Chains A and B, each alone.
Chain A
Amino acid sequence: MSNKVAIIASNGGLFDAYKVFNIATAAAATEKEVAIFFTFEGLNLIHKQGMHALPMPAGAEHYAEGFAKANVPAIPQLVEMAQELGVKFIACQMTMDVMGLTTDDFVEGIEVGGAVTFLEFAKDAAPSLTF
């Protein structure tokens, strides 16, 4: 049985962030080795400022109340939790170049890599997930 979970985060909305970080922290808490490859809009999820103000999907703004009521942790809190549990964050170098971003724009402790970095991790991971 594989002890690795590989996740690709390629979208930058609030819902996307919850899908990514909930699965990642749950997997890490279950003693899996977890890596997330952040690419394209997915980079928003670990952007120092961006992660504090991720957009809801258009037309879903009314869910804000539900999030507050269910006492769902804020994304920056989940990011911190994930890192504390040892989840590896890999930011996509190519996307960073296109968007003019550097490691200073992101939370501490990330790795920067290309597609092969992720593929190498993911080759024996199960499940591999894309959000």
Chain B
Amino acid sequence: MSIKVDFQLDAKGLSCPMPIVKTKKAMADLVDGQILEVSATDKGSKADIAAWAESVGHQYIGTMEEESVLKHYIRKCSDDTMDEKIFERTIGLEEAMEREGLILDVREEAEFAFGHIKGAKSIPMGELDARLSELDKKQEVYVVCRTGKRSDLAAQKLTAHGFTKVFNVLPGMTSWTGDLTAFSSVEMEELSLRTPRPVATTE
């Protein structure tokens, strides 16, 4: 299967501490918000990558194992805190869940794949412009991301395009305590059939 990522790093066959050293170097090529996929065979790398990301301040999204290769997903974020709330119509996570309407998750595909609110629709922030036609202007749209920062931008964008029933869900998924749905096997299958988008590989 292939989750959409911005950079790929091949650290297969390398033992500790090389996967971490290479990941650190590769991360320098990413801009904030981009996703790095690290392939490794070192079994210790799962705990190490998660600890490394936590320590350095990036977002560890998750790890998948395929045929004894571990694929780690990390999102670069030097600052993901919600510093400025611009979009005024906000709604609490729980309240949004109780209402009719669409939960629109604007996090990256990898973040969505590792856990999302059941029934939520995924359109990553960067694809929103191109995929507006998938949304119904008459429907209420509850925009959610991890912290509320990206969803604030997305809500502004939707409003600018004529959507009137838009709410930014605050706080975001970091505060979600309900059930999370990971991709189903069918969705995984669809991903694996999709032609992979060309991605930059990093040494």
A interface residues with partner B (beta carbon < 8 Å): 22, 25-26, 29-31, 70-73, 81, 85
Contacts and interface: CB of A to CB of B under 8 A. Distances in A.
Main secondary structure of the interface of A (DSSP, over half): loop
Contacts of A71: 13-15
A25 B14 CA distance: 14
B3 interface: no
A29 B17 contact: yes
Contacts of B23: 29
B24 A73 contact: no
B63 to A, nearest CB: 18
The 8 closest A-B pairs by CB, nearest first: A29-B24, A26-B17, A29-B21, A29-B20, A25-B17, A30-B55, A70-B15, A72-B15
Contacts of B180: none
Contacts of A30: 20, 24, 52, 55-56
A70 B43 CA distance: 11
Contacts of B15: 70-73
Contact of B21 (A70, A72, A85): A85
Contacts of A85: 21, 24
Nearest to A32: B55
A73 B17 CA distance: 9
Contacts of B52: 29-30
B18 interface: yes
Contacts of A72: 15
A73 B22 CA distance: 13
A17 B182 CA distance: 43
Residue of A26, A29, A72 with highest tally of chain B CB at under 10 A: A29
Interface string B99-127: 00000000000000000000000000000
Interface in B8-51: 13-18, 20-21, 23-24, 48
A61 B23 CA distance: 32
Given A29-B20, A29-B23, A71-B14, 11 more contacts: A22-B16, A25-B20, A26-B17, A26-B48, A29-B17, A29-B21, A29-B52, A30-B24, A30-B56, A31-B56, A81-B21
